[in-house]
Chain A
Amino acid sequence: MDNGGNESILETYLYETNTLLEQLDSIVLAAEQADTFTENDVNEIFRIMHTIKGASAMMEYESLTTVAHRIEDMFFIVRERSMDVIPHAEHGLLFDMMFTAIDFFRGEVEKVQSGQPLSDDIGKLLEKINSLIAKIQGEAETAGAAGSAPSAQPAAAPVPGTEPGFPYGLRVFFDEGAGMENLRAFMLVTELRGICGEENFTFSPADVETDTSTTETIVTQGFVLFFRMAADRTGAIHVVSGSGSVRGYQTFDGPTAPAQEETKRTAPAAEAVRHAEQKSTVSAPKAAREEASPVKSAAAAPAPAQAGGAHPKESLISVNLSKLNQLMDVVGEIVITESMVTASPDLKGMKLDNFTKSARQLRKLTDELQDVSMSLRMVPVLGTFQKMQRIVRDMGKKLGKRARLTLVGEDTEVDKTIVDGIGDPLMHIVRNAMDHGIEETEEERIAAGKDPEGEIILSASHTGGEVIIQVKDDGRGVDYDRVLKKAVDAGLASPDAEYSSKEIINFLLMPGFSTNTEVTEFSGRGVGMDVVKKNVEEVGGAVVLTSEPGKGMTATLKIPLTMAILDGMEVSVGSSIFTIPINNIRQSFKMSGADIIHDAAHGEMVKVMNNFYSVIRVKDVYGLSTGCDEIEDGILMWVESGECTYCLFVDELMGEQQVVVKPLPNYINTFNIKQHGITGCTILGDGNISVILDVANLYSAIQ
């Protein structure tokens, strides 16, 4: 079914369904927290299910259609009767069912994506939904029959067959506990007789004057009057509202009106019964789909009204990411070309007032263009964060741990590629925090003087050109001795050497390290934190772990805002030009040869702000043939990236420039020069190429 022609439809289907499922997931999660669905939630879920059902039916995914349809049915009932129809004890069941359903949908959508056949095995899930519907239904029935709340229920109370010719109805309620309602009703009738004539109206119950047993009917269902003409009813309303001990009245029109109320009430019930009979329709979902149409028409009316409400998403469009990438590339070229034109050597020494003016305007516009096109790719991290809610919840249930996830700064916007890139790492970290961080039992936490409920704080914030994402748990923290022992066992550490706690914690990020000897469902496969490190580094970021024993662990991801453009400092070494990202540079200064301190291994160091830092000469590291050798002739740059801080010795600073990062050609990458601190290159305004240095890799390369 997914041949070329359907590709775009399929793509849209996948995109829409995934978005809806994400939305659904967050609604249900929030609802579970509150332990109830608000009216809005119910409407939203109803709408989502309806959309999924429709789209799946169009794509002929029978199982998806059937399940979505049943859930829609269920929420149809809930919407009609409010959340109260579900007994409190069943709420947990409902949420579980919703999560199972979401997982089912996700699984199926994934199968669609990978072109696998869909599963037909939905019997169990359907049964779950059906039994829940049955429960709700039962609850609703009893609630309806009791009629204990006359103010809420009377509209639905059975109305005796209206006499033809008396289309205008009026239902009157007397004050609660007024007594002798039948006689009060009779007095009303007598009064009305005088206004509009006996032949122009009827009433029910009929024999109010003589039969005292009608009292009860009037109390529960009100006293119903039918008029031949609307004017008569208007008159009657005056009488009714004027007379004492009348609590309220209700008007309803035409014989059809009450009838409609009647059907509206029974429709879901009948529907459910039909479904119960058709439990076996799983194998023949065609029937179920045909059945969908009446519900659809019933549901369609309120749904658009709901959608028309306040949906901020209406003004959003979805664009293929590759188009945005392309735009970014073109904009990058424009920015470069602009400076190539305006700074052209041909213009040197010419007096060009108008040109300069226009050039300045052009610069302003290209800057703006760049900002806008960059902001296009910015998305809030909220979506990624919310996925973690689900992981914490599921793992908490599985592991029997109680923990909550607190989100901070989830509105922080980052480049789309980065959002995609941090999804997996974050998941690993959160899983690790749940699995290894949070204590096994609540008693353990209480004994340590902590809140029995564990807390994981997921926060995002901007600092300069970086996004900082932190996952902080208040669990046990890292057991340094165990980690070190494990590292020694795994051959990552030498048993004789002394390690600082910082070094020990970094073993966690090494490949093949996993402290949990048991492979659990969630973590402990020996891949994990090293994958985190790799993934984060792929988007140009760094991971830092810190821990306080007994107080918890914090994983900090520092990720550049965007990878496509960076602010760089151009430096020269001999005839070569290098670009160093501005946010790696702390300071640059001149020093004399006398300031250099030599160590035993011919290493050089300088003292800056009461700290010693090693000096790395770019010329020597890269074996360049030209460049300064004397410290006095060049300049020292104090750089910092993640954990490493040192001084780079270069010839000259050439100026700050915003550059478009270009990856190195694949051919060059096969030589692994990335590990030597060369991450990419950029084309300068004059057409020359500058090499972008990765401060952290350069440092580890010479170690």
Chain B
Amino acid sequence: MNNQVMSFMEDGTSARAALTEEMEQFLVFQCDALRVGIRVDCVVEALINQSITPLPMLPGYVCGIINLRGEVVPVISIRLRLGKPAADEQSVIVLNINGMQLGVLVDRVDQMVKLPHSSLLPMPSTNGQKLMCGMSSLPDGGTMLELDAAALLEH
């Protein structure tokens, strides 16, 4: 009897593990011509038309701070961070990176995708992109770069 239950459990968990192992979920956003994906587990929420309070004496890519329901969250512009020209971006994706909240200003939030784990490929090592940690083809034919969230916290 006990054994039977055990085997059930094992079956169930292994099946689920197999599912998650295969699929990874990403939030894809647009930044200039790039399409960048972030793992959904670190995404808190996406905001539009949030007013950002600029702070002086900071590097250009740090846009300022926003009031997220009483909490003060810093916002950086992914365009400027990647060395691209600034544009009138409006969407902020709030991330939770190891307990630290950080807003990322992007051109436009694109879509949510589920990608099989095996389709995620490492960046070519010659590529100088420090903020990206992988890339993958999207079902609609485009290519997605995977953003390394932890690297965003470094200057």
Q: B65 to A664, Cβ gap below 8 A?
A: yes
Is residue A683 within 8 Å, beta carbon to beta carbon, of the partner chain? Answer: yes
Contacts of B65 in A (CB 8 A): 664-665, 668, 681, 689
Minimum CB–CB distance for B52 against chain A, Å: 9
Q: Within the assembled complex, what's the spacing in Å between the Cα atoms of A624 and B56?
A: 7
**CB pair B53 A689 closer than 8 Å:** yes
B100 pairs with A687, CB closer than 8 A: no
Hey, which chain B residues are within 8 Å of A622, CB to CB? 56-57
Question: Quick check: is A128 within 8 A (CB to CB) of the other chain?
Answer: no
Q: Which residues does chain A contribute within 8 Å of B74, judged by CB atoms?
A: 665, 667-668
Which residues of chain A are near B102, meaning CB under 8 Å? 667
Contact across chains for B53 and A691 when beta carbons are under 8 A apart: yes
The answer on a CB contact under 8 Å between B55 and A678 is yes
B122 close to A (CB within 8 Å): no
Asked whether, in the complex, the Cβ of A688 is within 8 Å of the Cβ of B56, the reply is: no
A336 to B69, CA, bound (A): 11
- Give A658-683 as 1s and 0s: 1 = Cβ < 8 Å from B's Cβ atoms: 00001011111011010010100101
Q: Contact between A576 and B58 (Cβ–Cβ < 8 Å)?
A: no
Chain A residues, CB < 8 A from B155: 670-671
The yes or no answer to A371 lying at the interface (CB within 8 A) is no
Evaluate contact between A662 and B56: CB separation under 8 angstroms: no
**Complex: chain A residue closest to B154, CB-CB:** A670
Interface secondary structure of A, over-half rule = mixed
Nearest Cβ in chain A — how far from B29, in angstroms? 20
Q: Report the separation of the CA atoms of residues A671 and B64 in the bound assembly, to the nearest whole angstrom.
A: 12
A333 at the interface (CB under 8 A from B): yes
Residues of A within 8 A of B153 (CB): 667
B99 CB → nearest A CB, Å: 10
Give residues of chain A (545-598) contacting chain B, Cβ–Cβ below 8 Å: 576-577
Residues from chain A with a CB closer than 8 A to the CB of B54 are 576
Cross-chain contact A671 with B72 (CB below 8 angstroms)? no
Q: Are A689 and B56 in contact (CB under 8 A)?
A: no
- Known A-B contacts A667-B153, A668-B58, A668-B62; the reply to A689 vs B67 at CB < 8 A is yes
Are A687 and B67 CB-contacts (below 8 A) given A665-B72, A667-B74, A670-B155? yes
How many B residues touch the partner, as a band? 20 to 34
**Cα–Cα, bound, A48→B51 (Å):** 59
Structural contact, B72 and A689, CB atoms closer than 8 A: yes
Of the listed residues B51, B74, B102, B153, the one surrounded by the most CB atoms of chain A closer than 10 A to its CB is B74
Instruction: Indicate if B116 sits at the interface (CB-CB under 8 A).
Output: no
Determine if B142 is an interface residue (Cβ-Cβ < 8 Å).
no
Nearest B-chain residue to A677, judged by Cβ: B57
A576 to B52 alpha-carbon distance, docked (Å): 11
- On whether A662 and B72 interact (CB within 8 A), knowing A668-B65, A681-B65, the answer reads yes
Question: Could you give, for residues 610-633 of chain A, a 1 whenever the CB lies within 8 Å of some chain B CB and a 0 otherwise?
Answer: 000000000001111000000000
Residues from chain A with Cβ under 8 Å of B55 in the complex: 664, 668, 673, 678, 691
Closest to B70 in A: A333
Smallest Cβ distance from B65 to chain A, in angstroms? 6
Cβ of B133 to closest chain A Cβ, rounded Å: 20
In the complex, what residue of chain B is closest to A575 when comparing beta carbons? B54
A691, B72: Cα distance in complex, Å: 11
Name which residue of chain B comes closest to A673, CB basis: B57
Whole-angstrom distance between the alpha carbons of A676 and B58 in the complex?
10
With both beta carbons as reference points, the residue of chain B lying nearest to A683 in the complex is identified as B67
Residues of B within 8 A of A667 (CB): 74, 100, 102, 153
Shortest CB–CB separation between residue A113 and chain B, in angstroms? 27
Of the candidates B51, B57, B72, B101, the one whose C-beta lies within 8 Å of that of A681 is B72
What distance in Å separates the Cβ of B113 from its nearest Cβ neighbour in chain A?
28
B86 to chain A, nearest CB (A): 13
Within 8 A of A (CB), among B93-148: 100-102
Q: How far is the CA of A667 from the CA of B153 in the complex (A)?
A: 7
8 Å CB interface, A681-703 against B:
681, 683, 687-691
A673 to B72, CA, bound (A): 16
Whole-angstrom distance between the alpha carbons of A671 and B51 in the complex? 22
The CA-CA distance from A667 to B67 in the complex, in Å, is 15
Question: Would you call B70 and A671 a contact (CB within 8 A)?
Answer: no
Q: Which of B54, B59, B73 has the most CB of A within 10 A?
A: B54
**Residues in A whose Cβ lies below 8 Å from that of B72:** 662, 664-665, 681, 683, 689
Q: Tell me which residues across on chain B come within 8 A of A621, comparing CB atoms.
A: 56
B31 CB within 8 Å of chain A? no
Q: How many Å lie between the Cα of A336 and that of B67 in the bound state?
A: 13
CB distance from A663 to the nearest CB of B (A): 8
Q: 0/1 per residue, A341-354, Cβ < 8 Å to B?
A: 00000000000000
Instruction: Please tell me which one of the listed residues B59, B62, B66, B101 contacts residue A689 in the complex, with CB atoms under 8 A apart.
Output: B66
Contact: B73 with A671, CB < 8 Å? no
Interchain CB contact under 8 A, A671 and B57: yes
Residues of A within 8 A of B53 (CB): 576-577, 681, 688-691
Residue among B58, B72, B101 with the highest chain A CB neighbour number at 10 A: B72
Taking CB atoms, residues of chain A closer than 8 Å to B100 are 665-667
CA distance A576 to B53 in the complex (A): 8
Using Cβ atoms and an 8 Å threshold, which residues of chain B touch A678? 55-57
B79 to chain A, nearest CB (A): 18
Query: CB-defined interface of B44-87 with A at 8 Å, one 1/0 digit per residue?
Result: 00000001011111110010011100101110000000000000
Q: Are A671 and B58 in contact (CB under 8 A)?
A: yes
**A635–B64 alpha-carbon span in the complex (Å):** 26
Q: How far is the CA of A662 from the CA of B100 in the complex (A)?
A: 16
CB distance from B87 to the nearest CB of A (A): 17
Q: With A664-B65, A665-B101, A673-B57 in contact, do A683 and B70 touch (Cβ < 8 Å)?
A: yes
A669 → B minimal CB distance (Å): 10
CB-based contact B56/A623 at 8 Å? yes
Q: With both chains docked as a complex, state the minimum distance between the C-beta of A6 and any C-beta of chain B, in angstroms.
A: 29
Determine the residue in chain A with the shortest Cβ distance to B76: A667
Closest CB-CB distance, B143 to chain A, in whole Å? Answer: 29
Query: Which residues of chain B are within 8 angstroms of A683 by Cβ–Cβ distance?
Result: 67, 70, 72
Name the CB-closest residue of A to B97. Answer: A667
Give min CB distance, A551 to chain B, whole Å.
Answer: 43
Verify B67–A688 contact, CB threshold 8 A. Answer: yes
CA distance A624 to B67 in the complex (A): 21
> Taking A665-B65, A665-B101, A689-B65 as contacts, is the C-beta distance between A676 and B70 under 8 angstroms?
no
Q: How far is the CB of B58 from chain A (nearest CB, A)?
A: 5
Contacts of A687 in B (CB 8 A): 67
**5 residue pairs, one from A and one from B, having the closest CB atoms:** A622-B56, A689-B53, A676-B57, A667-B74, A665-B74
Query: Assuming A333-B70, A667-B100, A673-B55, what are 17 further A-B pairs, CB within 8 angstroms?
Result: A577-B53, A621-B56, A624-B56, A664-B65, A664-B72, A665-B101, A667-B102, A667-B153, A668-B55, A671-B62, A673-B56, A673-B57, A678-B55, A683-B72, A688-B53, A689-B53, A691-B55
A–B Cβ pairs within 8 angstroms, 14 of them: A662-B72, A664-B55, A665-B65, A670-B155, A671-B59, A671-B62, A671-B155, A673-B55, A673-B57, A676-B57, A678-B56, A688-B53, A689-B53, A690-B53
